């Protein structure tokens, strides 16, 4: 997909530091869009992660119950027998498989009560019938304690019912808070959009929350209100709207035949960290069933998917906080020495705080060791530090060359949670290249912000770090960052982390 052109965004003034002003480019939204964007929205919970956690809890809970009953009743008389423990683990695993086959690991099912319990009780009984059958044919049935087996069945069943009651209460609470909703915007305020919204709203237990509709047209085909959903603005407004409030899904109601219009819109919207789908509910052209993904019964075609979601997001969070925490603890004595050196070298604070672009263009405060003279600090990064720059202190020159000045960003990773260990490097909001803002110099620049920025990244370990004095250098950074986003894995992060120290020693010619 070709990159977008982000030049349509406009300027609005804001204050960043005493005596200075910065200009943040914000597109003006319609009053209807502002009314939606200003509503308080909580962070979303992933249904995939929720159902996965319930599976793990089921397995662990049943295993603990079976082992505890064995230790209380069987072991004191018959002694320790590993066969029991193997059977318990196997039965707990079989229960999870049977629950999955009974299709009860769904958030919609968790909301129910009778249907969920009926399926669960039937599956749990089947596990015990299966165990009894295997024991009979293996001729070990007589060695199995009937008291233990019956106790395991009833205690396990009670525990499962209690657990599901807790899960049901949590699901209801999260649903009320909007954490389970897929906040959706529709593109297309015509009859196709009206049909799509009506079909989505007609479905029971749907997690789709329609925020509104966007459409560029101002003629009779474009309606102000579509099946109760307000028209919030034009397609160009979607980017700014999605950066002011949580949007999970952009759904095109345009027919596939409108290929040119769809491609033009996708060139603008692909930089957002959201799922983008094309509705196929009115298209006469039909593909194989597996080509579609479904929103209830509404068929859609996936165009773009939000990167690093569900369990991937959990794994990255754990990696950042566990590995980042260990690195921070190990680095604290060295960081204290660096702080003393900075304080002795020149007057002023030890740490330097700068506004930078974070995830989805969020403005974040990034911490660094101060490397410039305090009275010549440049919190807006209007003037790029160059070779031999007289603003850089003696200690600053060393810590910038070796990237030691980046170490305080570990506090961003571990405590503020607005940086990752690995990701596209965050740039200052007013940083420029050849008098142009970065997103004006390179099309598709903001696509870097579909994931959380990092202390180190794929571009940096490949030599694209330090001064950015040409569009070509910036373009290379963007290309490497986009490659990282599309090919992310925990092992990729580990590889970049291991390669970072070598890169700092061998590829620092652009770091001043």
Q: Could you tell me which of 319, 352, 326, 328 has the C-alpha nearest to residue 452?
A: 319
pLDDT digits (tens, 9 = 90+) for 337-354: 999 999 998 888 999 888
pTM metric for this prediction: 0.84
How far is 480 from 245, CA to CA, in rounded Å?
Answer: 28
Which pLDDT does position 13 carry in this prediction? 30
Tokens of 385: 């530090």
Is the pLDDT confidence value at 304 over 60?
Answer: yes
Whether the Cβ atoms of residue 463 and residue 507 lie closer than 8 Å to each other = yes
Q: Average the pLDDT over 191-213 and give the result.
A: 88
**Widest Cα–Cα separation across the chain:** 87
Is the pLDDT confidence value at 22 over 70?
Answer: no
- The domain made up of 11-44+181-306 has a fold known as Rossmann fold (3.40.50)
pLDDT digits (tens, 9 = 90+) for 31-42: 999 999 999 999
- Helix segments in 138-258, DSSP class H: 146-177, 191-201, 237-244
Q: Using CA of residue 341, residue 344, residue 345, residue 349, what is the dihedral sign?
A: positive
Residue span(s) of the chain under CATH 3.40.50.720 come to 11-44+181-306
Is the pLDDT confidence value at 20 over 50?
Answer: no
How far is 271 from 25, CA to CA, in rounded Å?
Answer: 16
Q: Which residue has the higher pLDDT, 107 or 138?
A: 107
Angle at 355 between CA 41 and CA 408, to 5 degrees: 105
pLDDT digits (tens, 9 = 90+) for 74-113: 777 766 777 788 899 999 999 999 999 999 999 989 988 7
DSSP characters over 314-377: HHHHHHHHHHHHHHHHHHHHHHHHHHHHHHHHSSS-SEEEEEEE-GGG-EEEEEEE--B-GGG-
Which pLDDT does position 286 carry in this prediction? 61
Give me the percent of the chain exceeding a pLDDT of 90. 51
Phi-psi region of 468 (alpha: psi -120 to 50; beta: other; left: phi over 0): beta
Helix crossing, 237-244 with 259-269: angle to 10°?
A: 40
Q: Using CA of residue 341, residue 343, residue 346, residue 348, what is the dihedral sign?
A: positive
Backbone angles phi, psi at 198, to 5 degrees: -65, -40
Is the pLDDT confidence value at 445 over 60?
Answer: yes
């Amino acid at each position: 997909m070709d990159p977008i052109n982000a030049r349509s965004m406009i300027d609005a003034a804001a204050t960043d530091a005493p005596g200075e002003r910065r200009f943040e480019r914000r597109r003006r939204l319609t009053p209807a869009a502002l009314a939606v964007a200003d509503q308080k929205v909580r962070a979303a919970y992933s249904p995939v992660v929720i159902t996965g956690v319930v599976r793990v809890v089921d397995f662990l809970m049943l295993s603990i119950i079976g082992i505890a009953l064995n230790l209380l009743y069987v072991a004191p008389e018959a002694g320790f027998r590993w066969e029991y423990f193997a059977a318990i683990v196997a039965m707990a695993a079989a229960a999870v498989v049977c629950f999955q086959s009974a299709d009860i690991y769904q958030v919609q099912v968790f909301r129910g009560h009778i249907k969920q319990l009926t399926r669960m009780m039937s599956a749990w009984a089947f596990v015990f019938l299966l165990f009894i059958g295997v024991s009979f044919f293996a001729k070990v049935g007589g060695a199995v304690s009937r008291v233990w087996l019956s106790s395991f069945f009833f205690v396990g069943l009670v525990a499962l019912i209690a657990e599901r009651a807790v899960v049901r209460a949590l699901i209801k609470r999260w649903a009320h808070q909007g954490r389970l909703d897929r906040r959706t915007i529709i593109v297309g305020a015509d009859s196709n959009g009206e049909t799509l919204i009506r079909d989505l709203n007609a479905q029971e237990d749907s997690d789709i929350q329609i925020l509104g509709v966007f459409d560029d047209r101002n003629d009779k085909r474009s309606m102000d209100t579509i099946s109760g959903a307000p028209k919030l603005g034009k397609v160009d407004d979607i980017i700014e709207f999605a950066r002011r409030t949580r949007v999970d899904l952009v759904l095109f109601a345009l027919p596939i035949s409108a290929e040119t219009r769809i491609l033009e819109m996708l060139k603008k919207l692909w930089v957002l960290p959201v799922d983008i789908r094309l509705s196929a509910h009115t298209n006469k052209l039909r593909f194989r069933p597996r080509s579609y993904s479904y929103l209830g019964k509404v068929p859609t075609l996936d165009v773009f998917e939000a990167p690093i979601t569900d369990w991937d997001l959990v794994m990255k969070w754990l990696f950042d906080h566990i590995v980042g925490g260990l690195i921070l603890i190990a680095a604290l004595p060295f960081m204290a020495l660096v702080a003393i050196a900075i304080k002795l070298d020149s007057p002023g604070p030890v740490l330097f705080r700068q506004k930078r672009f974070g995830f989805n263009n969020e403005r974040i405060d990034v911490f660094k060791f101060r490397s410039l003279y305090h009275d010549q600090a440049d919190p807006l990064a209007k003037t790029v530090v160059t070779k031999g720059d007289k603003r850089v202190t003696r200690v600053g020159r060393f810590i910038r060359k070796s990237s030691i000045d980046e170490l305080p960003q570990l506090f961003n990773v571990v405590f503020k949670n607005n940086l990752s260990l690995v990701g596209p490097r965050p740039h200052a909001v007013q940083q420029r290249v050849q008098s142009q803002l970065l997103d004006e110099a390179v099309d598709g620049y903001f696509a870097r912000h579909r994931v959380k920025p990092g202390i180190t990244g794929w571009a940096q370990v490949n030599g694209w770090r330090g001064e950015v004095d040409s569009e070509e250098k910036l373009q290379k950074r963007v290309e490497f960052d986009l490659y990282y986003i599309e090919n992310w894995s925990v092992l990729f992060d580990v590889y970049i982390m291991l390669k970072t120290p070598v890169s700092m020693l061998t590829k620092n010619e652009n770091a001043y």
